[in-house]
Chain A
Amino acid sequence: MQAYLDQLIKDGAFAGVPRELVYAVAMVLAAFVVLSVFVAPLAGVTSWLERRVWARMQSRVGPNRVGPQGILQWLADGIKNLLKEDLIPSAADAKLFSLAPYVVFMGFLCTFVVIPFGGNLIVADLNIGIFYILGVTSLVVVGILMAGWASNNKWSLLGGMRSAAQIVSYEIPAGLAILTIVFLAGTMSMQGIIKAQGWGPWDWFLFHNPFTFAAFFLYFTAALAEGNRTPFDIPEAESELVAGYVTEYSGMRFLFFFFAEWGNLYVIGSVATTLFLGGWQVPPLWIFDNNPVLLGIAQFVTFFLKAYLWVFVAMWVRATLPRVRVDQLMALCWKYMVPLAFVCMLGTIGFLFVPDDVRRVISAATLGFAIAVAIVFFLRVAFQIRHARPELYWKPHI
């Protein structure tokens, strides 16, 4: 985008306007567009879709009243929450209490700066892209701690403490899993990592070698834990801590936390897609020649579908699994995931010295293994799908 702006300035489109001002206005505009056109509807629709998917898995109907199939439910919820009274408990630390949701929200929103939407659609292709994501998502833990402490509620405090311990711990396996890919790609730029892969699964980093295959699952698990999702949703464990750090929040501030949670699902999915699944790479078909708009749309759709697949998996996991206990959570991280992530990292470094044709054979074997696992998995799930009254999926009105 900066190149485009430079071109415009060079052509004299903003004659007489200081260069810095042009950049500043452009940045604000870009942030506004990304927020209002993409992030807000995305988080909202994800909230509706999650409730809907969840309901079908539990043989319920789910929200289906506002708009066709209830798709506007998120707007209704948002408006309702905007109209609610914004309560600040008298015993709370008012300033921190009001600030906390915005810190959480910012930590999540800033990641969209480097998340690619397509080959050319990216706000800023920073050369430290993935590192930047790790950095700004850490802001979330600050916000959650602030919320937990400032609420002056024991449940909130417990939730905040749990969350801090959890997010800080799980950043290590997540970071190590990301590092394996950084070694392979030789860059931290999001676009650079995607360009280092190909459009076919055999060129993805996921199947580069067995270690990256394992690293993917380590990353996804750790990211679920960082995003406070089941089975790691202990900071807001409903049956234990009432609502954890959001116990005292109401109205729009309450919504901001969940806005960040649902939007964060997409961030998890898109980081996984960028690092492991080839990003927006599309097959070089003849229709894309001399047709950059079509190419852009195809790349966007490819990336979005790949990323959203993992959002769906997260919903599925949430509907299936119980919650782990806080000590088991820590044991899982420090006893199993951190050492495993180190093994993955070292193994991948080892593969950098393996001759390329040998590596290609191992890569094909990994791909075959993954396909076999997927087939076995879906054979097991097929029983449930057959028994799930599929007609209800197409016509869920009761």
Chain B
Amino acid sequence: MNETAQVEPGFFAEEMTISVGPQHPSTHGVLRFVVKTDGEVINEAIPDVGYLHRSIEKIGEKVTYHGYVPYTDRADYLAAMFANQAFCLAAEKLAKTEVTRRGEFCRVIACELNRIASHLISVGTFGQDIGAMTPFVHALRERETINNLMEEICGARLTYNYIRIGGVGYDILPETCTKIVEFLDHFEPIVDEFNRLLSGNKIFIERLAGVAVVTKEEAFSYNLVGPNLRGSGVKWDIRRDIPYSIYPELEFDVPIGTAHVGKLGDSFDRFWVRIREMQESCKILRQCLKMMPKGPAIAKVPRKFRPPAGECYARVEAPRGDMGFYVVSDGSEYPYRVRIRTGSFTAMAIIDKLSKGIMVADLIALIGSLDVDAPEIDR
């Protein structure tokens, strides 16, 4: 204790510095925040990233294009399909490879299933952060069905390595399609049940409405993407605005924040956008399963894949927002440079700003509502 603290005997207050994480139940994975609090009120919360760095970008320079696809799975293990797809899009753009039409449908089906799974984790753990344990288990139960479907589609439950350059690794069988339809029939009422249990709960709404409001301008200036941006009322979705794959042929809405319980861009809006995105994904899946053409699932791609020298940036709409792969080729078998751009990393930056003056419990709600995912932050 220094001498200034002793000048006045009796009551004095000082800031408390708490380290939230890396081992903390609600910093999913290994996030860390250095939080300075005045009692329960936070003065500042500085995010400390880098605990899950696996140098996925550097590995890209050491393996071939085909060999790098399994590594992209690990960029965001809750939504591995999207990293697969973003990298493959970039490689295909470089080499001007055409993807087969059935391959595109398989990609979209797998991606949208993965989006539902990822959002289920997100809303489930969010409920758990707020203290509701049951919705979390229910969400994981539904996700388990998706994992089973994924296992049938590509043989893996978490890191899929399904989307390959030129198409997909394995065709989706008709029996699997029937099972997906069965799952959708079962899942759509479950979303309503989930809303009755959690989203409509008075305590849950009170905890989130008006907490950590991100205005449209802030969302732009902090480069928020995906559901976090849409929660602030910006209708921006890569699938709709910079279309790729077969998304232009599909009909779906882009849900944005509604502010029906609090202010536009609060924690509840971000949560609510995710719930409705799951319903939109169901719509997309039903359309895809109806429209799916016959044909090969993967185009003929040389085993020694050597795209011409050049550079390319491809982006997809991942569950955590705009995910981009910047790939530079020098004409050899190995990429010259791979750079991955993810949504969670930019979302981390705004936490410092939003956390001023909120309570410790609200910080947890804020982290959960931004759906930051430790592996995606650090790559």
Chain B residues lying within 8 Å of A154, measured Cβ to Cβ, are 16, 18
Per the bound structure, the CA–CA distance linking A162 and B351 in Å amounts to: 25
Residue positions of A touching B, CB distance < 8 A: 54, 57-60, 154-155, 158, 161-162, 230-231, 233-234, 237-242, 318-328
Given contacts A240-B26, A320-B134, contact A325 B197 (CB under 8 A): no
Per the bound structure, the CA–CA distance linking A233 and B131 in Å amounts to: 9
How far in angstroms is the closest Cβ of chain A from B199? 11
Chain A residues lying within 8 Å of B203, measured Cβ to Cβ, are 231, 321-324
12 A–B contacts from the bound complex (CB under 8 Å)? A58-B137, A59-B137, A158-B360, A231-B203, A239-B26, A240-B360, A318-B133, A320-B132, A320-B134, A322-B201, A323-B203, A326-B40
Contact yes or no, B24 A324, CB < 8 A? no
Contact yes or no, B129 A239, CB < 8 A? yes
Interchain CB contact (< 8 A) of B131 among A57, A59, A323: A323
Q: Which residue of A lies closest to B368 (CB)?
A: A239
Q: Inter-chain contact count A-B, CB under 8 Å?
A: 79
For chain B, the count of residues having a C-beta within 8 Å of the partner chain is 30
Per the bound structure, the CA–CA distance linking A328 and B141 in Å amounts to: 32
Q: Which residue of B lies closest to A230 (CB)?
A: B131
Per the bound structure, the CA–CA distance linking A230 and B201 in Å amounts to: 14
Given contacts A231-B203, A239-B25, contact A322 B138 (CB under 8 A): no
Per the bound structure, the CA–CA distance linking A241 and B128 in Å amounts to: 13
Chain A contact residues: helix, strand, loop or mixed: helix
How far in angstroms is the closest Cβ of chain B from A156? 12
How far in angstroms is the closest Cβ of chain A from B266? 14
Chain A residues lying within 8 Å of B185, measured Cβ to Cβ, are none
Contact yes or no, B364 A240, CB < 8 A? yes
How far in angstroms is the closest Cβ of chain A from B173? 28
17 more A-B residue pairs beyond the given contacts A325-B359, A326-B359, A327-B359, with a C-beta to C-beta distance below 8 A? A59-B138, A154-B16, A154-B18, A158-B40, A230-B131, A238-B25, A239-B26, A241-B360, A319-B134, A320-B197, A322-B198, A322-B207, A323-B361, A324-B203, A325-B206, A325-B361, A325-B362
Q: CB of B127 within 8 A of chain A?
A: yes
Chain A residues lying within 8 Å of B137, measured Cβ to Cβ, are 58-60
Per the bound structure, the CA–CA distance linking A162 and B131 in Å amounts to: 16
Interchain CB contact (< 8 A) of B361 among A155, A161, A326: A326
How far in angstroms is the closest Cβ of chain A from B187? 14
Q: CB of B130 within 8 A of chain A?
A: yes
Contact yes or no, A242 B24, CB < 8 A? yes
Proximity string of chain B (166-199) to chain A, C-beta cutoff 8 Å, 1 when within and 0 when not: 0000000000000000000000000000000110
Chain B residues lying within 8 Å of A60, measured Cβ to Cβ, are 137
Contact yes or no, A322 B204, CB < 8 A? yes
Given contacts A240-B361, A320-B197, contact A325 B128 (CB under 8 A): no
